[in-house]
Chains A and B, each alone.
Chain A
Amino acid sequence: MEGCPRNICPKLLDLIPQGREWYHEENNNTDQEKKLELRLGPPGGYEEDRSAKKNTETRNNNIMKEQTEISSPSKNHLSPCNKANVSHISQKRTAPGPVVGWPPVRSFRKNLASTSSSKLGNESSHVSHINKNGDGVTQVEPKREGMFVKINMDSVPIGRKIDLNAYNSYEQLSFAVDKLFRGLLAAQRDTSSGEREEKPIIGLLDGKGEFTLTYEDNEGDKMLVGDVPWQMFISSVKRLRVIKSSEISSALRFGCRRR
């Protein structure tokens, strides 16, 4: 039987490889003591054979703690390189914390209880990840890096997504929008000469260009981009839309904002 490889520090994975030895030590407990041991799992005592088995969740520190607290007093708080004190974990009642990708059911098969689950494209499941918290709590949280919002442009059927965290100012954003849509816009407007003129998309923020950049905020209101400080914008924007400047009502254009 293979021992623990010498060149890696045994981690939580290595709870049990040498487990057999100390399991036999445990067997020196009297039956009396065994019965008194607190364990997780249904009564019946059929855990003896397998209770020495590993829990290979590297991320479920939390579970270790829970089980060690409930199990018999000889258990210690689990520390990575301390094989000797590996807890006598009962495997029958498996950990309450969720494990990534288990049971192996695709995301659209979860949440069947809610009849009107609104999954907006790939925003929910695509960005869920295990969060390696220090306290070992296994959570599935949306990633914080990369803030992707949808952006559509009038007369361009293909929408895109844009990562707002990649920019620090409205100017950078405006530049990015131009880069994103310039080619697509030109393709939509095939001139009769057959040659695509790629005109830069400018004046998105000042109302002077052919197009203007607008956004929808977290309250559903449609706003012109550029009024509020950048950070405030970032915190409230939900999606972007590039519309024809001619479509904007004069009220908005001349400085009457809704807020």
Chain B
Amino acid sequence: MAEEDLSEMAKDVELHLKLDPPLSANNKPSRSFKTSSSSSPPPCDTSHVLENVLENVLKFLESRRDRNAVSLVCRSWYRVEAQTRSEVFIGNCYSLSPARLARRFTRVRSLFLKGKPRFADFNLMPPDWGARFAPWVAVTAKAYPWLEKVTLKRMFVTDDDLALLAASFPGFKELVLLCCEGFGTSGVAVVANKCRQLKVLDLIESEVTDDEVDWISCFPEGETHLESLSFDCVESPINFKALERLVVRSPFLKKLRTNRFVSLEELHRLMVRAPQLTSLGTGSFSSSTENAGQGEQEPDYASAFRACRSLVCLSGFRELAAEYLPAISPVCANLTSINFSYANISPDVFRPIIRNCHNVRVFWALDSICDEGLQAVAATCKELRELRIFPFDPSEDSEGPVSGLGLQAISEGCRKLESILYFCQRMTNVAVTAMSENCPQLTVFRLCIMGRHRPDHVTGKPMDDGFGAIVKNCKKLTRLAVSGLLTDKAFSLIGEYGKLIRTLSVAFAGDSDMGLRYILEGCPKLEKLEIRDSPFGDAGLRSGMHRYNDMRFVWMSSCRLSRGSCSDIARALPSVVVEVFGSDDDDVDVDEDNADYVEILYMYRSLDGPRKDAPKFVTIL
């Protein structure tokens, strides 16, 4: 799906509206400027008829990119498109103000808002930086009373925001919070209680404060509309009996992702009551200590799984007791998605399980399955599209149970691979090159060699050739994250061959400003650039002057930037907001030696200029 966000197209539209619209079919100037409707519009008013037709046609148009293109045709089309767009995606919540959104689009049913840049996930951004949902909910509450769906990623959402949301939208159906924070179980409780049409409540990888509220009990009595309930990231116990009752009275429930406070016995009870589930987050997947050793008959977990004939997605396994893992065998052949990334599974335990998973398309796991485990995946999972291998021990000096061996095996077995995220301690150019040749469908390649500046561990050479092969051979590549020892040559290759790359992530790499220049003078589709701890300085930054208006954002932290050049950019590009700050929220650095040094640069294009809610420690140049 196209990542072009509202702001880019909106900006273009603002420019285009200054041009005259094309003539209508009758060769008369189009009358579409007239906004007032006469009491009896002449029946041969072509443009009026056209607008109606257009409206009915555009209702079928869903793709964001198509709609953006449509809106550029002329004023009339712009207006009709704006009235018929029901799903709005905003890739950077600061690229425009909520008021502008409300002015342009009048009938929005679904809103997707993204806030902080991705590096905020790794504590690189001080807290209270922003990305608050509050101004958005306040405006949309008035503008879109029929809003049904809100998806937020990396936003700061408070309990009050959730309360306002629950109170303002009577038809509200879907709430998805990805990597959000700022709220607690109180806010969740209000949503559960007040949103009577709720179908989806998904809390995914978010931080949810434990307010000691029994939010599960807050769902209203009677049959619910719930289709999806995910709370695996909630780090507080829940009222299991209430959950069980909820599941029983939710006949449409298809996706249920429980948290680690749900034991295996409790999971069993849920599965028995909801065999129609398609996606299951299994909670702790270990026996609660009360039952252990009581001599009672253990529930038949395997048959519970067998009864779930529609189950295609499994996750959870937060505190996996490995002896119970074989219980999932009855569903393995049906599974298309498996997430083992919280479970420390050894190769011996893993191999008999994965052997049956022929249909898996998405597979996430810890590196504890080792290269052997990856070989087993390669042997069986021929339909694999997405692979993510996370480190069990995320430090630079850990042993590193996976390596180029596993990567190469995957590349040879899983030819349809499209997306990979791979953490390892050591890698070789040969393995990366093999993947580039075996997996031409790759659109996402993210390799994280955890040891900084680590070269090819066999040849001792930089990893330039491997990543070079990726950009040369994977012609569909849109997202790339690099690591290991890399020289400017790697960036010259990326700039030259990365024709479709939209997102580039760089850490501890490169030699000089040339590296950054290669990227900014190449990579024609680049939208999101995030760089940390690399020797790129002012000259490199300046070389991208011609591009920043067309990019969503640029993040550079711990590089070699000076305030002067950042100010120059801000001056030269008024529609780019240039934020400069430090990694902790001290006030402006008193250290005079360092006063000119820019620790973090975050700049993004915006239609509405610098934001008004920037905290003290942020300087907007």
Contacts and interface: CB of A to CB of B under 8 A. Distances in A.
B564 A94 contact: no
B211 interface: yes
A140 B122 CA distance: 12
A61 to B, nearest CB: 14
Interface residues of B, number: 81
Nearest to B341: A109
Interface string A136-168: 000010010000001010000111110000000
Contacts of B599: 58
B584 A94 contact: no
Contacts of A46: 455, 459-461
B467 interface: no
Contacts of A11: 593-594, 597
Interface string B378-415: 00000000000011111111000000000000000000
B280 interface: no
Given A102-B452, A122-B181, A128 B507 contact: no
A204 B457 CA distance: 66
Given A44-B460, A115-B319, A110 B535 contact: no
Contacts of B209: 120-122, 150, 159, 161
Interface stretch (B81-89, B183-191, B239-247): B183-191
A229 interface: no
A90 B125 CA distance: 30
Interface stretch (B300-308, B509-517, B544-552): B509-517
A255 interface: no
Interface string B116-146: 0001011110110000000000000000000
B336 interface: no
Contact of A7 (B213, B396, B564): B564
B535 A17 contact: yes
A100 B537 contact: no
Nearest to A13: B560
Interface in A112-129: 112-113, 115-116, 118-122, 125-129
B512 A159 contact: no
6 contacts: A7-B562, A44-B460, A91-B452, A99-B533, A104-B121, A105-B394
The 9 closest A-B pairs by CB, nearest first: A46-B460, A101-B122, A121-B209, A159-B211, A158-B186, A91-B453, A105-B394, A122-B207, A103-B450
Interface of A: 1-2, 5, 7-9, 11, 13-14, 16-17, 44, 46-47, 49-50, 53-58, 80, 91-92, 94-96, 98-110, 112-113, 115-116, 118-122, 125-130, 132, 140, 143, 150, 152, 157-161
Given A103-B394, A121-B236, 15 more contacts: A9-B594, A11-B593, A11-B594, A17-B535, A46-B461, A50-B453, A53-B511, A100-B583, A101-B122, A103-B450, A118-B235, A125-B123, A152-B212, A158-B187, A159-B212
